[in-house]
A and B are shown apart, each in its own frame.
Chain A
Amino acid sequence: MIPETPQRAIRTFQETVQRLRDQLHGVVVGQADVLEQILVAFFAGGHVLIEGVPGTGKTLIVRTLGEVLNLSFNRIQFTIDLMPADITGTRMVNEVGGRREFEFVPGPLFAHVVLADEINRATPKTQSALLEAMAEMQVTVAGTTYRLAPPFFVLATLNPIEMEGTYPLPEAQLDRFLFKVVLRYPSQADLQQIIGSTTGASQPTTEPVFARDEAPARIEALRALVREVLVAPPLEAYAAALIRATMPPDSKFAPSGPAMLPPDDHVAKYVSFGSSPRGGQALLLGAKVCALLDGRVNVTYDDIDRVARPALLHRLILNFAAVADGVEPASIIERILHAARPLRR
């Protein structure tokens, strides 16, 4: 388990993450920043929404992560006819000893690592079933609540193209994801390595970092270690200021009182809804993981900035003007971070 001394625990954390990186990079070519963000979200206890065009390795990344963590892994291909019971499980009549009784058969959600592939193709009803599992780590079937075994980690993928026949995720469900990671096309060198390594006779293999029986406990211990990282009040204020700055000033949901940052023009013009408080939680939790990965026990401003983009990217709901002007949420986040630099005292 976790060593007694904090220094040893921090070192173990760093070593564990480094081994995970190495294993992942053995299978996934390139996408280093995406892998880093996924690992951060995993140890922060959140879920990740991966957006990328087909064939960029979304499923490969999630499957490899489950393998190296040596955790149970399930993949759910979301389709339009997927029902909630298909993912949560259902009660089936089973005859035991001449008696018929209902028996709960767990769905694919009952795993440590769940890949919800093309989540936007399922109906909102099914998406809501996943939403409960992600937020509460439990599912309710026929009035009975079943707890999900920790660690529970959901990676959902979104296909930005082929939007016909899809159901965009509602904001409430988007907010459940800690990070949103965007997969880009690999570079020339990465692409060359990908096609070379995946078309040969030998396929890259992975070795689990943890033993299967102790993996969940060790991962939970590492997650608990993350939450012990210290955050000074000025940094909490900085994170809160960032979240507050995403809120358009003329919104009816805008909070009252003065803000630490002046309102940004792009936010007022292009943002319909800003980040929820969950965005602030995502900032600090991700920053804590980053601090531990750097061997520190305290969060810095750079840690917050480092996770600001994946933590806020899916929490900024842009309006039609932004779509018309081609404004991306990432550019607005960059503007907010730039405006918040004077707060880094």
Chain B
Amino acid sequence: MPAITVGVAEVEERLRQLRRRVNSRTALHVGSIGLSVVLLVAAGLLVLALRGSPLLFRTAVWSALLLVVVTVSIGVMVTRRRWLNLTAAASLADRHGNLTQRLVTLMDLRQRPRPSRFGPVLVAQILALGASWDPRRIAPRRVPRTVLLPLAALLVLATTALLEQRAPAAAPPAATAHSAAGAAQAGAQQPWPQGTDQTPATGQDAAAAGQNVPGERRTGTTRGAAAPDGTGTQSSAAAARDGQTQDPPRNRPAPQGDGGQETRLAALPDRLQNTLRQALQGDGANDRRGPSTRPETAQQGDRGAQGTASAPAAAGRTAGQTDPRNATPPASDAARREPTTSSDPGRSKGRPQRRDGEPDAPQQSSTGGTPSKGAGRGSSPGGLLGTADPDALAGAGTKPQPFTLTITSFLHATDAPAPLPKRGRAEKGPVAGAGGTPGDDNDPTDGADTTLADDALRRAAIPPAYAGIVRRVYLPTEAP
């Protein structure tokens, strides 16, 4: 059929042009919708990552993946259904150009082996009606409106940059003693969060904060960190003991950084180093365990890491390395606030409570801006050794030497305006600082018992033969 070859070629070229236009528009349409979905999903994930809980974010990620897969599948199906070949383009042109199936017939005639006498007539008629099926008229190269969807989705995605990130759920876990100490220092450098519900304004914490000040008190950093099991119970009990014992202030600078602490650890005897490392690792493990085992605390953000009863050791460590000027606000906050809702018994067991629910004496001292005398430093192994000199500490570790343990708790009791709880009085009241709630099962006389039981010890000089016993008492994490 050479007579119509030229005409057929021209018709085919116009059909190809129409096909390109329609297919590109289809691709743009489907691609725009798909891209919009992806952008919106990304925006939603960003919002959830910034504000949502991990569980919600995890669920949203999988849902988003499913949505994207479904969208892509639908897009592929729609594209395949709308994708035009030459015959489909001919049918489309027939409909839009009122060609009464001429183009479809021509496409079929093109494939027939035997030419028809009417072939040239058909091509001539199609070309004569060419204006009615102009590809530019049937499929004008207009950008589909759906391209606005990606722009809108991009705008939504950009607005997520204005969102502030919600504070992390918990302090980063410390894997080793080095990282624990580093985390403590990082905590010391951060300003105390405002509006905390639970503040470490206990006697031990306040004392630890005060001990961190050079020239005033010996550091109490390891007091909280040395909790043997990482729970707040023992550390709180130790804090209560420390809060009732007062040592004369010893000028000892707080360790700065991991290097300084490591140097000090290296100066200690091996046995003591191991004990400290185990204690620090146990504390780190407690920190790592805290957010996962206490989800309600983890959701409180970084406030719970320092102020909740779930991590009293970490709170003590962090507060101990915090400048008292920074440590004051939480204490005052704690004094102003209602008792916390935590029901951790270990938190409040070791702390004497006042009948009126006010914080006990050490906390009031810390509230006043000066470290509490009753906060004590006996929990510090360095303090127990009676000197801050590493050499002396090393010597004390190798050979038992007599030392004097000055108990300041008695003096503190006279200094502190709050009276000690009387034995046998089962007082119910809010736990000072944190960890207790009104009406919980904490026995407020435990602290008084401890105080009274320690009176004789405070007044006695520790002979060398009992040095080990005293160390075990004041070093709960030391390996038996």
Contacts and interface: CB of A to CB of B under 8 A. Distances in A.
Interface stretch (A36-44, A159-167, A194-202, A231-239): A231-239
Nearest to A302: B100
B101 A300 contact: yes
Interface stretch (A79-87, A169-177, A291-299): A291-299
A298 B102 CA distance: 6
Contacts of A296: 100, 102, 125
Interface residues of B, number: 19
B120 to A, nearest CB: 7
Nearest to B112: A230
B256 interface: no
Contacts of B100: 296, 298, 300, 302
A300 B103 CA distance: 11
B116 interface: yes
A284 to B, nearest CB: 13
Contacts of A297: 118, 121-122, 125
B81 interface: no
Interface in A220-242: 228-235
A233 B91 contact: no
Contacts of A299: 101, 105
Contacts of B120: 6
B104 A232 contact: yes
B129 to A, nearest CB: 11
A230 B125 contact: no
B57 to A, nearest CB: 47
B147 interface: no
Contacts of A210: none
A7 interface: yes
Contacts of B95: 345
A64 to B, nearest CB: 32
Nearest to B107: A232
A230 B118 contact: yes
Q: Is the interface of B mostly helix, strand, loop or mixed?
A: helix
Nearest to B108: A232
Interface string B97-130: 0001110110111000000111111101100000
B117 A298 contact: no
A231 B105 contact: yes
B91 A345 contact: yes
A232 B125 contact: no
Contacts of B104: 232, 234-235
Interface in A279-336: 296-302
A6 B108 contact: no
Nearest to B100: A300
A2 to B, nearest CB: 10
A232 B95 CA distance: 15
A298 B105 contact: yes
A233 B105 CA distance: 8
Nearest to B91: A345
Contacts of B118: 6, 228-230, 297-298
A10 interface: yes
A299 B109 CA distance: 13
Nearest to A294: B100
A234 B117 contact: no
Contacts of B117: 6, 228
B122 A298 contact: yes
16 contacts: A6-B121, A10-B121, A228-B116, A228-B117, A229-B118, A230-B105, A230-B118, A232-B107, A234-B91, A235-B101, A297-B121, A298-B100, A298-B101, A298-B122, A299-B105, A345-B95
Q: Which 5 A-B pairs have the closest CB atoms?
A: A297-B118, A298-B105, A232-B105, A300-B100, A232-B104
